[in-house]
Amino acid sequence: MISWQLTRECDLACLHCCTDSGPGQAMPGELCREEALSLAADIAEFGVPYVMLCGGEPLLSPHFFDVAEKLGESGIQLKVETNGQRFTVESARRLAALPIRSIQVSLDGETDGAYRSLRPGASLSAAQAACRFVREAGMPLEVTFAPTRENLCEASAVIDRALALGAFRFNTGMLMRVGSAAGYWDRLVPNAEQYEEFFSMLEARSLELAGRIELCFKPRSLDEAMALQLRQPPAVLLVRPDGLVHLSASMPFVCADLRTQPLSRAWHAYIAGWERIRNMQHARSVLPSESSRAACGADPRKGDRDVLAEASASVGVLDRETGSEAVVGAVVR
Ligand code: SF4
């Protein structure tokens, strides 16, 4: 499976963004159309069954539809993750011709106030309209909700909204201290009591809505997610807009460069990279817990990626020679 960030460009600058995306935030060296199409052909040839197209806002990539159609015409199942701001009837019509497993729209609030407090300048009605276009075009819809202090009280109403809009799944979890969210952490992160209430509500509503909509949530912190990944590495290659492949969204390590390496080699490097990390005697020190970071005085304005990269460098994991075989490197951005 591949999660492909087509661009870091976005028409929004959300406070809780985990990829530091935003207006004018396209990465230097994002793949051009020819490179992206070449990668799409490689993905098809390698037999990847499922690709998630995300960003930033994937629809802002000038070659979004070219890539989606190239993958879809090869029979690859697709998921598109969008903020819905520019998702039109025409977008839905074009995508509906492809093997779409789902379109995921971010709905972080039921009122303009809560929604815009996280997504300044965004239009909640545009995001809800996008959901309707998805369903009217006959595609499966997922809704995602990022929980923060600003919108937790509206979570249940957003579940009702997702159901009314025809979503088959509502995704949520715990806020991740990465990207922009790290900078707004104290303002955004729910406290323990708020989280407890939130997950109790989700448990109760899961039972109530069983068979009508799936509530997909894991009360798992970033530290817990990393620990789980060390035990059970995911078979998901996270491809950045510049073609570098991350071992995981929650770790800063890269294992390959698809601009210069074929996917087959990247896959072997991915497996070897996870093996290398799992075998590291220093794994625990590379993945410091929030409490240990606080104890050693880590800069609270930095996201986990920054902290992890510093930790990685300190134990000699860093290797920027991403062109070589089975390299585990760290990328800080
Ligand atoms: S959270 Fe999504 S919509 Fe918001 S800035 Fe990040 S990529 Fe863009």
- Residue-level pLDDT at 282: 53
Encoded amino acid at 234, one letter = P
Q: Say what percent of the chain tops pLDDT 70.
A: 83
90 burial via Cβ count (<10 Å: 0-12, 13-18, 19+): exposed
**Among the ranges given (85-94, 211-220, 289-298, 315-324), the one the predictor scored with the smallest mean pLDDT:** 315-324
Per-residue pLDDT at 230 exceeds 90: no
The CATH class given to the 2-219 domain equals: alpha beta
Q: Which residue has the higher pLDDT, 64 or 303?
A: 64
Q: In the prediction, which pLDDT does 299 show?
A: 42
pLDDT of residue 120: 97
Partners of 77 in beta bridges: 50
Q: What is the mean pLDDT of residues 250-261?
A: 88
How is the beta sheet containing 244-246 ordered, strand by strand?
214-217, 169-172, 141-144, 100-106, 77-82, 50-54, 2-5, 237-239, 244-246, 253-257, 329-330
The 10s digit of each residue's pLDDT in 171-215 is: 999 998 889 999 999 999 999 999 999 999 999 999 999 999 999
Does residue 243 register a pLDDT over 80?
A: yes
> Three-state SS for 42?
helix
Residue 250: pLDDT over 80: no
If you search the block for the tokens 């902290």, which residue do you land on? 307
Task: Look up residue 203 and give its amino acid.
Answer: E
Q: What's residue 332's pLDDT?
A: 31
- Ligand 1, CB cutoff 6 Å, lining residues: 10, 12-14, 17, 19, 21-22, 55-57, 83
Give the chain's mean pLDDT.
Answer: 86
- Report the pLDDT value the prediction gives residue 306, as an integer from 0 to 100: 47
Q: In the predicted model, is pLDDT for residue 258 greater than 60?
A: yes
Ligand 1 center from residue 285 Cα (angstroms): 31
Q: What is the mean pLDDT of residues 276-297?
A: 54
pLDDT computed for residue 181 by the predictor? 93
Which one is predicted more confidently, 97 or 328?
A: 97
Alpha helix locations (H) across 232-303? Answer: 263-279, 283-286, 290-295
- The larger pLDDT score, comparing residue 298 to residue 112, is at 112
Is the pLDDT at 293 greater than 60? The verdict is no
Q: Which atom of ligand 1 is nearest to the CA of 54?
A: 7
DSSP 185-248: HHHH---HHHHHHHHHHHHHHHHHTTTT-EEEE----HHHHHHHHHHS--S-EEE-TTSEEES-
Q: Which two tokens stand for residue 296?
A: 């050693």
Can you list the positions of beta strands (E) in the chain? 2-5, 50-54, 77-82, 100-106, 141-144, 169-172, 214-217, 237-239, 244-246, 253-257, 329-330
SS3 29: coil
Question: Residue range 213-218: average pLDDT?
Answer: 93
**Where residue 252 falls among pLDDT bands split at 50, 70, 90?**
confident
Q: What angle do CA 295, 299, 300 make, to 5 degrees?
A: 90
- Tell whether omega for the bond before 56 is within 30 degrees of 0, i.e. cis: yes
What is the pLDDT confidence band of residue 291, given thresholds at 50, 70 and 90?
Answer: very low
**Residue 318 pLDDT > 80, yes or no?**
no
Helix axes 155-165, 192-208, angle to 10 degrees: 30
Residue nearest to atom 6 of ligand 1 (CA): 17
| Residues in a beta bridge with 170 | 143, 215
Atom in ligand 1 nearest the alpha carbon of residue 179: 6
Domain ranges of the chain: 2-219, 227-330
DSSP state of 27: P
Burial class (CB in 10 A: 0-12, 13-18, 19+), 236: middle
Query: How far lies 326's CA from each of 143, 242, 264, 276, 311, in Å?
Result: 36, 19, 12, 9, 20
Calculate how far, in angstroms, residue 207's C-alpha sits from the geometric centre of ligand 1: 31
Strand, helix or coil for residue 103? strand
What is the rounded CA–CA span in Å between residue 248 and residue 150?
Answer: 28
Give pLDDT, residue 287.
53
Ligand 1 centre to CA of 83 (Å) is 7
122 CA from centroid of ligand 1 (Å): 10
pTM higher than the cut 0.95:
no
User: What integer pLDDT is reported at residue 324 of this predicted model?
Assistant: 36
36-68 confidence digits (pLDDT tens): 999 999 999 999 999 999 999 999 999 999 999
Report residue 19's pLDDT band, with 50, 70 and 90 as the boundaries. very high
Q: Which pLDDT score, from 0 to 100, does residue 253 have?
A: 84
